[in-house]
Amino acid sequence: MKKTQTVAFANLIESIFFIALGIWAWIKTGSFEEVKNTYVQASTFPRIMIAGMLIFSVILCVQSIWRLATWKEEDQDSLAGKAASINVFKERPIQAAFVVIVLAVLFVALFQILGYVICAAIVSLVIMFLIGKRNWLQMVLVSVIVPLAMWFVFYKVLTVNIPMGPLSFLTDLFG
Protein backbone atom coordinates (compact mmCIF):
# COMPACT_ATOMS: atom_id res chain seq x y z
CA MET A 1 0.00 0.00 0.00
CA LYS A 2 1.23 3.47 -0.87
CA LYS A 3 1.54 6.26 1.68
CA THR A 4 -1.04 8.24 -0.27
CA GLN A 5 -3.65 5.50 0.28
CA THR A 6 -3.50 5.66 4.08
CA VAL A 7 -6.05 7.14 6.49
CA ALA A 8 -3.35 9.58 7.63
CA PHE A 9 -3.00 10.95 4.09
CA ALA A 10 -6.79 11.17 3.71
CA ASN A 11 -6.90 13.06 7.02
CA LEU A 12 -4.28 15.46 5.69
CA ILE A 13 -6.36 16.20 2.58
CA GLU A 14 -9.53 16.60 4.70
CA SER A 15 -7.78 18.97 7.09
CA ILE A 16 -6.50 21.07 4.17
CA PHE A 17 -10.05 21.17 2.80
CA PHE A 18 -11.46 22.41 6.13
CA ILE A 19 -8.62 24.94 6.51
CA ALA A 20 -9.35 26.30 3.03
CA LEU A 21 -13.08 26.37 3.79
CA GLY A 22 -12.40 28.15 7.10
CA ILE A 23 -10.17 30.77 5.47
CA TRP A 24 -12.75 31.40 2.75
CA ALA A 25 -15.55 31.73 5.33
CA TRP A 26 -13.41 34.03 7.54
CA ILE A 27 -12.75 36.33 4.57
CA LYS A 28 -16.49 36.32 3.76
CA THR A 29 -17.33 37.47 7.31
CA GLY A 30 -15.34 40.64 6.56
CA SER A 31 -18.05 41.69 4.11
CA PHE A 32 -20.89 41.46 6.67
CA GLU A 33 -22.55 44.79 7.34
CA GLU A 34 -21.65 46.36 10.71
CA VAL A 35 -24.27 47.81 13.04
CA LYS A 36 -23.68 50.69 15.46
CA ASN A 37 -24.65 50.52 19.16
CA THR A 38 -24.44 46.76 19.45
CA TYR A 39 -21.95 44.73 21.42
CA VAL A 40 -22.03 41.73 19.11
CA GLN A 41 -21.69 42.18 15.36
CA ALA A 42 -23.21 39.79 12.80
CA SER A 43 -19.70 38.46 12.12
CA THR A 44 -18.74 37.76 15.77
CA PHE A 45 -20.39 34.40 16.32
CA PRO A 46 -19.52 32.95 12.88
CA ARG A 47 -15.88 34.00 13.44
CA ILE A 48 -15.73 32.19 16.80
CA MET A 49 -17.04 29.03 15.14
CA ILE A 50 -14.76 29.34 12.11
CA ALA A 51 -11.79 29.89 14.44
CA GLY A 52 -12.72 26.67 16.27
CA MET A 53 -12.94 24.78 12.98
CA LEU A 54 -9.58 26.20 11.84
CA ILE A 55 -7.82 25.34 15.13
CA PHE A 56 -8.93 21.71 15.10
CA SER A 57 -8.28 21.38 11.34
CA VAL A 58 -4.70 22.57 11.94
CA ILE A 59 -4.37 20.03 14.77
CA LEU A 60 -5.61 17.27 12.42
CA CYS A 61 -3.20 18.49 9.74
CA VAL A 62 -0.21 18.43 12.12
CA GLN A 63 -1.22 14.99 13.46
CA SER A 64 -1.45 13.65 9.91
CA ILE A 65 1.89 15.13 8.79
CA TRP A 66 3.56 13.70 11.90
CA ARG A 67 2.02 10.26 11.26
CA LEU A 68 3.01 10.29 7.58
CA ALA A 69 6.57 11.31 8.46
CA THR A 70 6.97 8.26 10.70
CA TRP A 71 4.96 5.88 8.48
CA LYS A 72 6.24 2.39 7.68
CA GLU A 73 4.49 -0.13 5.46
CA GLU A 74 4.20 -2.71 8.26
CA ASP A 75 2.42 -0.29 10.65
CA GLN A 76 -0.89 -1.65 11.96
CA ASP A 77 -2.58 1.31 13.66
CA SER A 78 -5.81 2.84 12.40
CA LEU A 79 -4.09 5.84 10.78
CA ALA A 80 -1.84 3.54 8.78
CA GLY A 81 -4.81 1.58 7.43
CA LYS A 82 -6.30 1.96 3.95
CA ALA A 83 -8.52 5.00 3.51
CA ALA A 84 -11.88 4.92 1.76
CA SER A 85 -11.81 5.94 -1.88
CA ILE A 86 -14.16 8.06 -3.97
CA ASN A 87 -12.48 7.33 -7.28
CA VAL A 88 -15.46 7.37 -9.59
CA PHE A 89 -13.45 6.14 -12.59
CA LYS A 90 -12.16 2.94 -11.03
CA GLU A 91 -14.68 1.65 -8.51
CA ARG A 92 -18.14 0.42 -9.45
CA PRO A 93 -19.73 0.98 -5.99
CA ILE A 94 -18.64 4.64 -6.12
CA GLN A 95 -20.07 4.94 -9.64
CA ALA A 96 -23.36 3.56 -8.32
CA ALA A 97 -23.30 6.02 -5.41
CA PHE A 98 -22.77 8.88 -7.86
CA VAL A 99 -25.66 7.66 -10.02
CA VAL A 100 -27.91 7.81 -6.93
CA ILE A 101 -26.70 11.37 -6.24
CA VAL A 102 -27.36 12.39 -9.86
CA LEU A 103 -30.84 10.82 -9.67
CA ALA A 104 -31.56 12.72 -6.45
CA VAL A 105 -30.43 15.98 -8.10
CA LEU A 106 -32.66 15.23 -11.12
CA PHE A 107 -35.52 14.52 -8.72
CA VAL A 108 -35.10 18.03 -7.27
CA ALA A 109 -34.80 19.62 -10.73
CA LEU A 110 -37.87 17.90 -12.17
CA PHE A 111 -40.02 17.85 -9.03
CA GLN A 112 -42.19 20.84 -9.99
CA ILE A 113 -42.45 19.84 -13.66
CA LEU A 114 -43.13 16.10 -13.49
CA GLY A 115 -44.60 16.03 -10.00
CA TYR A 116 -43.76 13.82 -7.06
CA VAL A 117 -45.29 10.53 -8.18
CA ILE A 118 -43.61 10.40 -11.61
CA CYS A 119 -40.22 11.58 -10.28
CA ALA A 120 -40.32 9.14 -7.36
CA ALA A 121 -41.40 6.23 -9.58
CA ILE A 122 -38.58 6.86 -12.07
CA VAL A 123 -35.94 7.31 -9.36
CA SER A 124 -37.03 4.17 -7.47
CA LEU A 125 -37.16 2.10 -10.64
CA VAL A 126 -33.69 3.16 -11.79
CA ILE A 127 -32.12 2.60 -8.34
CA MET A 128 -33.73 -0.84 -8.07
CA PHE A 129 -32.34 -1.76 -11.48
CA LEU A 130 -28.95 -0.30 -10.58
CA ILE A 131 -28.61 -2.45 -7.47
CA GLY A 132 -29.52 -5.62 -9.28
CA LYS A 133 -33.24 -6.08 -8.82
CA ARG A 134 -34.70 -7.78 -11.90
CA ASN A 135 -38.23 -8.77 -10.88
CA TRP A 136 -39.97 -6.22 -13.11
CA LEU A 137 -43.47 -6.80 -11.80
CA GLN A 138 -42.36 -6.19 -8.21
CA MET A 139 -40.21 -3.24 -9.26
CA VAL A 140 -42.99 -1.49 -11.18
CA LEU A 141 -45.60 -2.19 -8.52
CA VAL A 142 -43.44 -0.89 -5.65
CA SER A 143 -42.18 2.16 -7.50
CA VAL A 144 -45.70 3.20 -8.50
CA ILE A 145 -47.74 2.17 -5.46
CA VAL A 146 -45.42 3.58 -2.76
CA PRO A 147 -45.25 7.14 -4.19
CA LEU A 148 -49.00 7.07 -4.88
CA ALA A 149 -49.74 5.91 -1.34
CA MET A 150 -47.38 8.52 0.13
CA TRP A 151 -48.99 11.24 -1.98
CA PHE A 152 -52.42 10.11 -0.81
CA VAL A 153 -51.38 10.13 2.87
CA PHE A 154 -49.72 13.54 2.61
CA TYR A 155 -52.47 15.09 0.47
CA LYS A 156 -55.60 13.67 2.06
CA VAL A 157 -54.60 12.95 5.65
CA LEU A 158 -51.90 15.53 6.33
CA THR A 159 -53.30 18.15 3.91
CA VAL A 160 -49.90 18.84 2.34
CA ASN A 161 -50.25 19.94 -1.27
CA ILE A 162 -47.66 18.13 -3.37
CA PRO A 163 -46.82 18.97 -7.03
CA MET A 164 -48.31 16.28 -9.26
CA GLY A 165 -47.28 17.54 -12.74
CA PRO A 166 -49.17 15.70 -15.49
CA LEU A 167 -50.99 13.67 -12.83
CA SER A 168 -52.73 16.74 -11.37
CA PHE A 169 -56.06 15.19 -12.33
CA LEU A 170 -55.61 12.88 -9.32
CA THR A 171 -55.82 15.93 -7.06
CA ASP A 172 -59.17 16.84 -8.64
CA LEU A 173 -60.30 13.24 -8.51
CA PHE A 174 -59.66 12.94 -4.77
CA GLY A 175 -60.15 16.67 -4.09
Partner 1 sequence: MDFGLLFDSYFAVWLNPQVLFMTLLGACGGVLLGAIPGMTATMGVALLIPFSFGMDLIPSIGLLLGIYCGGMYGGSISAILIHAPGTPSAAATLLDGYPMSQKGEAGRALSVAMFSSFCGGVIGALVMTFLSPLVADMAMNFGPGEMFMLAVFGLSVIIAISGKSIVKGLISAFFGMALCTVGLDPTNGIPRFISYKQTGLLDGFQFIPTLIGLFAVAEVISGVERIISGEEKQEKSSEKIKKVLPDLSTIKKIWPNILSGGLIGTFIGAIPGAGGDIAVFVSYGASKSASKHPELYGTGIPNGVAATESANNGCSGGAMIPLLSLGVPGDSVTAILLGAFIMKGITPGPMMYISELPTVYKVFAALMLANLCMLIVGCCGVRFFAKIVSVEKKLLYPIILVISLLGAYSINKNVFDVGVCVAFGVIGWLMNKYEFPLSPILLALILGPMCEKNFVRFMNIQQGNFMAIFQSPIAVVFMAIAVAVIIFSVFNQRKINKRMAGASASDE
| Footprint (CB under 8 A) of partner 1, residues 29-58 | 29, 32-33, 35, 38-40, 42-43, 45-46, 49-50, 52-53, 56-57
Residue 174 in contact with partner 1, rule: CB under 8 A: no
To the nearest whole angstrom, how small is the minimum distance from the Cβ of residue 68 to partner 1?
A: 16
| Footprint (CB under 8 A) of partner 1, residues 101-160 | 101, 104-105, 107-108, 111-112, 116, 120, 123-125, 127-128, 130-133, 138-139, 142-143, 146-147, 150-151, 153-154, 158-160
Residue 18 in contact with partner 1, rule: CB under 8 A: yes
Residue among 94, 140, 144, 167 that touches partner 1 (CB under 8 A): 94
- How far is it, in rounded angstroms, from Cα 114 to Cα 6? 45
Cross-strand partners of 82: 6
Residue among 3, 5, 27, 28 that touches partner 1 (CB under 8 A): 28
Nearer to partner 1, 70 or 135 (CB): 135
- How far is it, in rounded angstroms, from Cα 141 to Cα 121? 9
- Phi and psi based region of residue 135 (left: phi greater than 0; alpha: psi -120 to 50; beta: remaining): beta
H/E segment holding residue 174: helix 169-174
Residue 161 in contact with partner 1, rule: CB under 8 A: yes
Count other Cβ atoms within 10 Å, centred on residue 117. Answer: 24
Residue among 16, 65, 68, 83 that touches partner 1 (CB under 8 A): 83
Judged by DSSP in three states, 158 sits in: coil
Rg (CA), the chain: 25
Nearer to partner 1, 71 or 111 (CB): 111
Count other Cβ atoms within 10 Å, centred on residue 40. Answer: 8
